[in-house]
Chains A and B, each alone.
Chain A
Amino acid sequence: MTFEPRLTRNWSNADVIGLDGYVAAGGYAALKKAVAMSDADIVEVVKASGLRGRGGAGFPTGMKWGFVPRDTGKPTYVVVNFDESEPGTCNNRELVEREPHRLLEGTAIAARAIGCETAFIYVRGEYLWQSIVLERAIGEAYAAGYLGADVAGSGTRIDIVLHRGAGAYICGEETALLNSLEGLRGQPRLRPPFPAVEGLYASPTVINNVETLMNVPDIIDRGADWFREVGTEKSPGTKMITISGKVERPGNYEIALGTPFREVLDDLGGGMLGGGTLKAWTPGGSSTPMLTAAHIDTALDYESLSAAGSLLGTAAIMVMDETDCVVDCAQRMVAFYAHESCGKCTPCREGSWWATRVLARIEEGYGREVDIPLMHDVGKNTLFRAFCALADGTASVINSSLQHFADEYEEHVRLGRCPMRDAPVEAEVVAS
């Protein structure tokens, strides 16, 4: 599928990291246009564009903005979710590294649309360099009058405050993020009330992903119909993807939604590393059910991946080849959820912890026949049984690997070792 790059069109221009270069490339024209529009008109254009949240859930962005009540007497807030922590995902990082002002412009337009005077960018702590890039860009934008008391000469005030996380995957969950921003432990909140009604500081709040907001300036500048020229009817626009693992050219790429995985793997990823054979892949980060070589022609969009039994998620494709053991990979992915579980809900906290151990036992050659039905049971009783979707990540890894690679699990137990290793792991290593 050929199209003109959108989010990546300036990636060959190193000058756009600075404000002058960004403005020379047409930057901040959309913000100037937006401050002259009514807030309702901005929301309508974004609704008409069909833009859906790029952080994983795919919720329509304009609708989210439209939910914010304006008559509560409280301030409204925009919070940018730059906690990008889903394993395999790093495109927000590169978007910000290369063109930080596009994020600030999109954030300011969102703020204008809901009458927000103070927006927050929540950036994961490990993105220290990217947070400095943003700090510098924010400084430039204030100096040039695109932020502050009189945005683009409109009399509108918009401030942006940068807030760094400190290493917690759960803070990408929007209500956990709000707690973290309020100075609490990053644990998710009960909904309702939804953040649109009671979010940050119990005030109406919109939380958007980085890529979502970076689409907004073009939508304002060029219109909803232009936005819909690429992608599918239900999934319009482009999508940033990350492809990693056993491919020749790991990286972040922009695709039209609906592009088949085969094209992404061969044309962008450069094919399998060293001419290997595709065995398994995650379409949207480790939380999305893994797929197999049989799914190579699946289109990458919300609907097609759902029909294939998975999810677009963060469009983070991790590719495994024939030399990779699925049990070993599943064990590492589940260990992540055990480490990152906030501990609030028993199915997540205990399920991920025990599953990590049982999977390790199977991989290391000490699996028992009952371990396979046991894993089915853990997977079934973790999915949709906890407060937030972190537990579903655990369950997705377990359930999808069992579904597609049952033989490989059984072979581990039957042989008393990983079929890709010559011998079981030594007992003393297992014990340590």
Chain B
Amino acid sequence: MQEGGVKKVFEAGALDDARAIMARYPASRERSAIMPLLYLAQSIDGMVSQDALREIGELLGITTAEVEAVATFYSMYRLRPTGEHVVNVCTNLACKLRGANAVYEAAHEAAGVTHGMERSDDGLFTVHEEECLGVCDHAPAVQVDFCNHDEVTPERMRELIASLRGGAVPAPARGPVFANFRAASRALAGLEEMPVS
């Protein structure tokens, strides 16, 4: 883990993954790999660390600042300590019209996250207000670790959180289920095919 006192994010298998990601893009266009590499880093550390920003810069031959400029632009990269599970609640208009504000409040209460805080004191949850998640046909829309839950009521929100607290990941409305935020981040890097629930 330690090399000259510096922790390496990408080592052994992770370094192979990083090289495989870079190989997806045309020769000399490796910088395009920056977004999946950030997801890969997030899957390893549960967030995008300063070490990861530097190492991605080294892999791509660009500065840490250039990597950080990209990482901070997008809302799906988390640059601060993040809960084991990330609960995203859409409150944009189509969901708001169907009662999303109450779902968002219920998520904070059930997860024990104070408004404006990054995560719950127990480190289990990060609750995030989302813009349109593209599930307006099943509003209010929620994602737990980027898996969709449809037509979520405040009561259902409390059930989802209670279930995660008990160690059981609830089955999503469609698609695969990911164990936590890290596992979902690995899939976002294009590295994991999960069984369909």
Q: Is the CB of B32 within 8 A of A90?
A: no
User: Taking the nearest CB of chain A, how far is it from the CB of B184, in angstroms?
Assistant: 7
Query: Contacts of A131 on B, CB cut-off 8 Å?
Result: 190
User: Taking the nearest CB of chain B, how far is it from the CB of A328, in angstroms?
Assistant: 8
User: Taking the nearest CB of chain B, how far is it from the CB of A412, in angstroms?
Assistant: 18
The answer to the question of A190 belonging to the interface, with a C-beta cut-off of 8 Å to chain B, is no
The answer to the question of B79 belonging to the interface, with a C-beta cut-off of 8 Å to chain A, is no
Query: Contacts of A316 on B, CB cut-off 8 Å?
Result: 136
When chains A and B are docked, how far (Å) is the Cα of A324 from the Cα of B69? 39
Query: Contacts of B69 on A, CB cut-off 8 Å?
Result: 185
Query: Contacts of A339 on B, CB cut-off 8 Å?
Result: 131
Q: Is the CB of A129 within 8 A of B175?
A: yes
Q: Is the CB of B94 within 8 A of A180?
A: no
Q: Is the CB of A90 within 8 A of B137?
A: yes
Query: Contacts of A164 on B, CB cut-off 8 Å?
Result: 35-36, 39, 188, 190
When chains A and B are docked, how far (Å) is the Cα of A213 from the Cα of B188? 24
Q: Is the CB of A126 within 8 A of B35?
A: no
When chains A and B are docked, how far (Å) is the Cα of A184 from the Cα of B65? 12
Q: Is the CB of B70 within 8 A of A185?
A: yes
Query: Contacts of B138 on A, CB cut-off 8 Å?
Result: 250
The answer to the question of B146 belonging to the interface, with a C-beta cut-off of 8 Å to chain A, is yes
When chains A and B are docked, how far (Å) is the Cα of A92 from the Cα of B115? 33
Q: B24 contacts which of A89, A125, A161 (Cβ < 8 Å)?
A: A161
When chains A and B are docked, how far (Å) is the Cα of A135 from the Cα of B194? 12
Q: Is the CB of A90 within 8 A of B38?
A: no
When chains A and B are docked, how far (Å) is the Cα of A183 from the Cα of B29? 9
Count of inter-chain pairs, beta carbons less than 8 A: 160
User: Taking the nearest CB of chain B, how far is it from the CB of A360, in angstroms?
Assistant: 14
The answer to the question of A11 belonging to the interface, with a C-beta cut-off of 8 Å to chain B, is no
Q: Is the CB of B73 within 8 A of A324?
A: no
When chains A and B are docked, how far (Å) is the Cα of A332 from the Cα of B101? 11
Q: Is the CB of A89 within 8 A of B190?
A: no
When chains A and B are docked, how far (Å) is the Cα of A169 from the Cα of B134? 11
Q: Is the CB of B35 within 8 A of A183?
A: yes
The answer to the question of B102 belonging to the interface, with a C-beta cut-off of 8 Å to chain A, is no
Query: Contacts of B77 on A, CB cut-off 8 Å?
Result: 166
Query: Contacts of A430 on B, CB cut-off 8 Å?
Result: none
> What is the 8 Å Cβ interface bit string for chain A, positions 158-198, against chain B (1 contact, 0 not)?
00011111111100000000001111111000000000000
Provided the pairs A136-B193, A165-B74, A244-B137 are in contact, do residues A118 and B35 lie with their beta carbons within 8 angstroms?
A: no
Q: Is the CB of A201 within 8 A of B29?
A: yes
Residues 126-141 (chain B) with a chain A CB within 8 angstroms? 130-139
Q: Is the CB of A242 within 8 A of B137?
A: yes
The answer to the question of A132 belonging to the interface, with a C-beta cut-off of 8 Å to chain B, is yes
Query: Contacts of B139 on A, CB cut-off 8 Å?
Result: 244-245, 250
Size bin of chain B's contact surface = 35 or more
The answer to the question of B148 belonging to the interface, with a C-beta cut-off of 8 Å to chain A, is yes
When chains A and B are docked, how far (Å) is the Cα of A403 from the Cα of B172? 42
Q: A186 contacts which of B73, B137, B187 (Cβ < 8 Å)?
A: B73
Q: Is the CB of A162 within 8 A of B136?
A: no
Query: Contacts of A318 on B, CB cut-off 8 Å?
Result: 93-94, 97, 136
Q: Is the CB of A182 within 8 A of B93?
A: no
Q: Is the CB of A128 within 8 A of B184?
A: yes
> What is the 8 Å Cβ interface bit string for chain A, positions 199-243, against chain B (1 contact, 0 not)?
001000000000000000000000000000000000000000010
Q: Is the CB of A167 within 8 A of B193?
A: no
Q: Is the CB of B25 within 8 A of A184?
A: no
When chains A and B are docked, how far (Å) is the Cα of A131 from the Cα of B187? 9
Q: Is the CB of A168 within 8 A of B75?
A: yes
Interface locus among A79-87, A148-156, A364-372, A376-384:
A79-87
When chains A and B are docked, how far (Å) is the Cα of A184 from the Cα of B25? 15
Give A246's nearest chain B residue, CB to CB: B97
Q: Is the CB of A181 within 8 A of B131?
A: no
The answer to the question of A401 belonging to the interface, with a C-beta cut-off of 8 Å to chain B, is no
Q: Is the CB of B33 within 8 A of A183?
A: yes
User: Taking the nearest CB of chain A, how far is it from the CB of B38, in angstroms?
Assistant: 7
The answer to the question of B31 belonging to the interface, with a C-beta cut-off of 8 Å to chain A, is yes
> What is the 8 Å Cβ interface bit string for chain A, positions 295-330, against chain B (1 contact, 0 not)?
000000000000000000000101110001000010
| Most chain B beta-carbon neighbours within 10 Å: one of A87, A184, A186, A251 | A87
Query: Contacts of B38 on A, CB cut-off 8 Å?
Result: 166
Residues 48-74 (chain B) with a chain A CB within 8 angstroms? 60, 69-70, 73-74
When chains A and B are docked, how far (Å) is the Cα of A330 from the Cα of B103? 20
Q: A340 contacts which of B39, B131, B134 (Cβ < 8 Å)?
A: B131
Q: Is the CB of A132 within 8 A of B187?
A: yes
Give A124's nearest chain B residue, CB to CB: B134
User: Taking the nearest CB of chain B, how far is it from the CB of A393, in angstroms?
Assistant: 12
Q: Is the CB of A128 within 8 A of B35?
A: no
When chains A and B are docked, how far (Å) is the Cα of A129 from the Cα of B134? 12
User: Taking the nearest CB of chain B, how far is it from the CB of A320, in angstroms?
Assistant: 7
> What is the 8 Å Cβ interface bit string for chain B, positions 83-109, against chain A (1 contact, 0 not)?
000001001111011100000000000
Q: A89 contacts which of B34, B75, B115, B136 (Cβ < 8 Å)?
A: B136
Query: Contacts of B25 on A, CB cut-off 8 Å?
Result: 161
- B residues sitting closer than 8 Å to A (CB atoms) are 24-26, 29, 31-36, 38-39, 60, 69-70, 73-77, 88, 91-94, 96-98, 115, 130-139, 143, 146-148, 172, 174-176, 184, 187-188, 190, 193-194
Known: A88-B94, A128-B187, A318-B94. 17 other contacts (CB 8 A): A94-B137, A125-B74, A125-B188, A128-B184, A132-B176, A166-B39, A166-B74, A166-B75, A180-B35, A181-B32, A244-B94, A244-B97, A250-B139, A252-B137, A319-B97, A320-B97, A336-B131
Q: Could you pull out 6 A-B pairs where Cβ atoms are within 8 angstroms?
A: A93-B135, A164-B36, A182-B31, A182-B32, A339-B131, A340-B131
